[in-house]
Amino acid sequence: MSFRTIPSIVAAGVFAVGLAFGAAGPHVVAQDTLTPEAAVAARIAVMKSNGATLRSAGGLTGDAAVAAMTTLSNNFAQYPTLFAEGLTTPDSEALPLIWEDWAGFIAIVDGAKAAADAGIAAAQSGDTAAYMQAVQQIGQACGSCHGKYRS
Query: Do residues 134 and 119 lie in contact, with contact meaning Cβ atoms separated by under 8 Å?
Result: yes
List residues bridging with 94 in a β-sheet.
150
Predicted TM-score (pTM) of the model is 0.80
Say if residues 50 and 89 touch (Cβ distance below 8 Å). no
Q: Tell me the residue type at 96.
A: P
Q: Which pLDDT tens digit goes with each residue over 67-120?
A: 999 999 999 999 999 999 999 999 999 999 999 999 999 999 999 999 999 999
Is 46 within 8 Å of 75 (Cβ atoms)?
Answer: yes
Q: Where are the domains of the chain?
A: 5-149
In this predicted model, what pLDDT tens digit does every residue of 108-140 receive, in sequence order?
999 999 999 999 999 999 999 999 999 999 999
Helix residue spans in the chain (DSSP H): 5-24, 36-57, 62-82, 97-100, 102-125, 128-149
Query: CATH assignment of 5-149?
Result: 1.20.120.10
Phi then psi for 94, rounded to 5 degrees?
-75, 125
What is the spatial distance between Cα 62 and Cα 5, in angstroms, rounded to a whole number? Answer: 15
Per the CB < 8 A criterion, the answer to whether 75 and 47 are in contact is no
